Amino acid sequence: MSGPDTAELKRLSGAHHWHPFTDHKELAALGGPRIITHAEGVWLTDSAGHRILDAMSGLWCVNVGYGRRELAEAAFSQLNDLSFYHGFFKTTTEPTVRLASKLAELTPPGLSRAFFANSGSEANDTIIRMARHYWALKGKPGKRFIIGREHGYHGSTMAAISLNGMKVMHEQGGLPLPGFAHVMTPYPFEGQGEMSAEAFGRLAARAVEEKILELGPENVAAFIGEPIQGAGGVIIPPESYWPEINRICREHDILLIADEVICGFGRLGHWFGSHRYGITPDFMTLAKGITSGYVPLSAVMVGDRVAETLIEEGGEFYHGFTYSGHPVACAVALANLELIEREGLVARVRDDIGPYLLSRLRTLLADHPIVGEIRGEGMIGAIEIVKDRRTRERFSGNGKAALIARDHCFQNDLIMRGVRESLVFAPAFTLTHDEADELARRAKQALDLTARDLGAL
């Protein structure tokens, strides 16, 4: 069987395809994109025939690994039975209802209802509207501010970008929109210094409280945070952080939004990051792992106090998407959740492959000259790159070192992401021990080459 015409696809891509988050001039200079043609387990194949170990499970989403027949069959069967119907005008479909009910069972108590969308960004936009509408119905229309965090990532729509703590995104398009504020994040490697982890967690939580008091609690609708920040560099908070956030939101009557787009569906070795950290959210954002990325789907879990007010006092909520609760996406999600349960993948992440991968990386990189820290939880983690392990001094060039390391991984057929000064990873939960050994070996090779390039060896 002959493969696709790579040269033609690259040419067509350069002429017609606008990639997400891409410098197109740079991509053209590199000769165009790599074209992925096939995937199985944690292995991608590209059009040149390379087998690539995907340590990112796509974009933090292919939790059950690629090529699972059960998910393909669920889609095929649903496409044959009912390819589309919607949830507008007093109708719905069976997979939609069954999935909503399954999510209510899996998520923490008090989150009983699911609104469906197609992406994490849309789900977060939905939450902003619901939160503000809730406060208006409560007679507090002034409560409009949403507080997010430095390095937070919540999506790419105008409102979701406004939640993000990424200045480079704000600079394009005149964002954030009015009504959004940002605070520091609990990033121990950079901020803890001589403090205890406990004290640092409290300090970072206090920043949220101070922002609420500065804006006035009567003007603040909600606080949003990822249990562990993913795209911002896998930032893992001290244990003291989330309990304090729970308390602060409760005391100042602020809604708490847990963005579980990356942490949800077993990534941290618990069904949700909220279980891991004891977070008691009013809203949860779900996407990615909900279908293991096989088809697009996201959901907003709406807490009971908000839902009851919107339902009892709100009348019609003028919000929804053509594909809200798409039956094919919901059928795939149900098959995905069933597979995670049947194979015990959440426990596997917590007790087996998560700790194993971390220990392999820690063993191989224990004395590596440019590794400042290896951190992780379940199947998500980061390797901090430093010039000096003792002082934590960074290399110059603002993240250039991580990009060099990322490129060496890429050349060695290993996919990791470079985020600021870290290499981050989030493989599928089905990674075998042998594959974890291989991943760690390739990561070490990439870091050795990076150290050589930067004159640190």
Contact 107, 270 (CB under 8 A): no
**Nearest to ligand PXG of 58, 354 (CB atom):** 58
Concatenated DSSP letters of 296-308: --EEEEEEHHHHH
Which CB, 53 or 261, lies closer to ligand PXG? 261
**Please, which residue, 142 or 320, has the CB nearer to ligand PXG?**
320
* Beta strands across the sheet bearing 298-303: 111-117, 298-303, 283-286, 255-259, 220-225, 145-149, 180-183
Smallest distance from the beta carbon of 20 to ligand PXG, in angstroms? Answer: 7
Q: Which is nearer to ligand PXG, 269 or 289 (CB)?
A: 289
Of 394, 409, 396, which is closest to residue 442 (Cα–Cα)? 409
Closest CB to ligand PXG among residues 115, 153: 153
Residues of the shown chain interacting with ligand PXG in the complex, contacts defined by CB under 6 A: 59, 119-121, 124, 153-156, 226, 230-231, 259, 261-262, 285, 287, 417
Give least dist CB 21 to ligand PXG, A: 7
Nearest approach in angstroms of CB 79 to ligand PXG is 22
Contact 190, 386 (CB under 8 A): no
CB closest to ligand PXG, residue no: 120
What minimum distance in Å lies between the beta carbon of 65 and ligand PXG? 19
C-beta of residue 279 within 8 angstroms of C-beta of residue 227: yes
Tokens 């809604």, residue located? 255
Q: Which is nearer to ligand PXG, 42 or 61 (CB)?
A: 61
Count CB atoms within 10 A of the CB of residue 395.
20
Q: How far is the CB of 389 from ligand PXG (least distance, A)?
A: 26
Q: Give me the least distance between CB of 287 and ligand PXG, in Å please.
A: 5
Residue 54 φ then ψ, to 5°: -90, 95
Q: Quote the CA–CA distance of 357 and 377 in Å, as a whole number.
A: 10
Task: Please state the closest distance from residue 453 (CB atom) to ligand PXG, in A.
Answer: 23
Tell me if 384 sits within 8 A of 235, measured CB to CB: no
What whole-number distance in Å separates Cα of residue 364 and Cα of residue 441? 8
Nearer to ligand PXG, 203 or 301 (CB): 301
Q: What is the DSSP letter of 393?
A: P
Q: Which is nearer to ligand PXG, 330 or 364 (CB)?
A: 330
Cα–Cα distance, 281 to 37 (Å, whole number): 40
Min dist CB 448 to ligand PXG, Å, is 25
Nearest by Cα to 249 from 241, 261, 239: 241
